[in-house]
Amino acid sequence: MNVKIKPAKRLKGTVYLPGDKSISHRAAILSAIAEGTSRIENFSTSADCNSTLKCLESLGISIVRNGKTVLVKGVGKDGFIRSSRELDCGNSGTTARLLAGVLAGQSFESILIGDESLSKRPMKRIIEPLEMMGAKIESKENCLPLKIRGKRPLKAISYQMPVASAQVKSCILLAGLFADGKTTVSEAVIDGETVITRDHTERMLRYFGVDVEIFDGKISVSGNAKLGARNFTVPCDISSAAFFLVAASCLKDSEVFIPNVSINPTRTAILKVLMEIGAKIEIRQPAFCIAKDSEKDGAINDERAFSDENAGEPVADLVVYGVGQFQTDTLRIQGAQTASLIDEIPILAVLGTQLEGGLEVRDAKELRVKESDRISAIVENLRRMGVEVEEFSDGFCVKRSRLKATKIDSKADHRIAMAFAVAALLAEEGETEIDQAECVSVSFPDFFQTLFQMTNF
Ligand code: S3P
């Protein structure tokens, strides 16, 4: 499907975002390992999180889904059953890497498969530590399909991560729940700086009753931990909010309200960067809890959202006002900061075209192994729009430029499609056409509807 987008003068309205994708994956997996039924509200509508639910069902977990409400009947640590078919992770790296951690601790064999993009993404980063723990893993040159022969119990390890990756950290911590002692993962160190990756697994494990030690970038769990079922609401996804934060900031006279967004400190670097360059964003205590599907039709729960209801995740309402162009020096993103903005780099690249001094991104090699090679996708599409941009092996440099409407090759990568939809709004005139635009359903199925509503008022 191709989508055509015209330039816009401003964005106005309220953005209802999907539940956070990272938190939803973890919610489903931990609920499955827990004993009893967990009720998850505002579960992500993304195709990625659906892949996680489908894989769990194949492993014998009973799941009832009604819109954004998901009931998961946990089977405890010993209740998974061997899947009669391959476990299809679709486009989702988080599904593959986190489930691999759980499957390593089972006394049966499982096969993880994925789509064309996922089948090219590196899995050595999880194969190595899981084999150290005693699992046997066959792969196609360290990529999917992965055949995982689990072991019970696994051997507890202390592992220093070579890459800054929350997926790798979470994979090992989940395997650690099935180990014979205390498993410790140390966050990666880049240029002498410890990079603290998103900590949703740690927060959610604690919420499910697991004793998680966290000290100085080292996280430990013990193999005798038991998880009890919980009810909670997933906050909305700040990485999806990022597209609207940038679009509204760049279009003068915009005013956009984004309720119930996750403001977990390991995810809010995007707010910090935008506010540092002069974006006008208000962070407010949430006015209302997210309406539960069971209380729809206008009824809104009036409890405050800063509570355990969110599985230990802080939440806020965001209001963003348009600024137009930004009079800044070159915005430089590098080192640990790049890791903390990894999913936001495509939209920051578009922002870079509106900054007086442009934007330089470094230390972003990981972007080459995301859903597409995002460095090359960003550079190619910015050039198509007439932007002066230089490519490096670990990043790129964008000059302030006028954007020309054109055809965009999304590479079937959701964040590339959404970032260039925003670029299309900022273009001077004419329609920009985005190919394979249906890929936005990987994280935000209603993205285009939401965007069009905010430009037509
Ligand atoms: C994710 C972690 C990040 C991120 C991905 C989701 C997660 O990947 O890019 O979209 O949910 O743990 P890495 O941890 O591999 O960098």
Judge contact between 358 and 400, C-beta under 8 A: yes
Least confident window among 62-66, 80-84, 292-296 = 292-296
Residue 303 reports pLDDT greater than 80: no
Which pLDDT score is estimated for 294?
43
Cα–Cα dist 146/95, whole Å: 13
Query: 3-18+235-454, superfamily in CATH?
Result: Enolpyruvate transferase domain (3.65.10.10)
Residue 419 reports pLDDT greater than 50: yes
Residue 7 reports pLDDT greater than 60: yes
Orientation of helix 166-176 relative to helix 21-33, angle to 10°: 10
β 3-5/432-434 pair status: antiparallel
Between the CA of 318 and the centroid of ligand 1 the distance, in Å, is 23
Please compute the mean of the pLDDT values over residues 189-195 and round it to a whole number: 93
Between the CA of 94 and the centroid of ligand 1 the distance, in Å, is 6
pLDDT digit string (tens) for 127-149?
999 999 999 999 999 999 999 99
pLDDT digit string (tens) for 337-384?
999 999 999 999 999 999 999 999 999 999 999 999 999 999 999 999
Q: Which of 98, 117, 165, 415 to mutate to test the pocket of ligand 1 (most atoms within 8 A of CB)?
A: 165
From the CA of 21, give the closest atom in ligand 1.
Answer: 11
Residue nearest to atom 4 of ligand 1 (CA): 343
Q: Among 298, 357, 296, which Cα is nearest to 332's?
A: 357
Which pLDDT score is estimated for 233?
95
pLDDT over 90, % of the chain: 93
Please compute the mean of the pLDDT values over residues 18-31 and round it to a whole number: 98
Tell me the pTM. Answer: 0.96
Please compute the mean of the pLDDT values over residues 46-69 and round it to a whole number: 98
In this chain, the answer to whether the domains covering 3-18+235-454 and 21-233 adopt an identical fold is yes
Residue 292 reports pLDDT greater than 80: no
pLDDT digit string (tens) for 196-239?
999 999 999 999 999 999 999 999 999 999 999 999 999 999 99
Between the CA of 166 and the centroid of ligand 1 the distance, in Å, is 6
Between the CA of 345 and the centroid of ligand 1 the distance, in Å, is 13
Please compute the mean of the pLDDT values over residues 73-96 and round it to a whole number: 98
Residue 308 reports pLDDT greater than 60: no
Cα–Cα dist 406/354, whole Å: 18
Which pLDDT score is estimated for 300?
31
Residue 101 reports pLDDT greater than 80: yes
The single-letter code of the amino acid at 90 is G
Contacts (Cβ under 8 Å, ≥6 apart) of 41: 68, 69, 231, 232, 233, 234, 290, 292, 293
Residue 414 reports pLDDT greater than 80: yes
Q: Which residues, listed in sequence order, are joined to residue 231 by a DSSP beta bridge?
A: 39
Residue 296 reports pLDDT greater than 60: no
Residue 9 reports pLDDT greater than 90: yes
Q: Among 61, 13, 59, which Cα is nearest to 40's?
A: 61
From the CA of 370, give the closest atom in ligand 1.
Answer: 9
Which pLDDT score is estimated for 306?
39
Residue 448 reports pLDDT greater than 50: yes
pLDDT digit string (tens) for 162-185?
999 999 999 999 999 999 999 999
Residue 304 reports pLDDT greater than 90: no
Residue 189 reports pLDDT greater than 70: yes
Give CA separation, 114 vs 95, 97, 131, 135, 150, in Å.
10, 11, 21, 20, 20
pLDDT band at residue 191, thresholds of 50, 70 and 90? confident
Ligand 1 — pocket residues by CB below 6 A? 22, 94, 165-167, 170, 197-198, 342-343, 366
Which is higher by pLDDT, 183 or 292?
A: 183
- What CATH number belongs to 21-233? 3.65.10.10
Domains of the chain, by residue range, sit at 3-18+235-454, 21-233
The single-letter code of the amino acid at 310 is N
Which pLDDT score is estimated for 286?
85
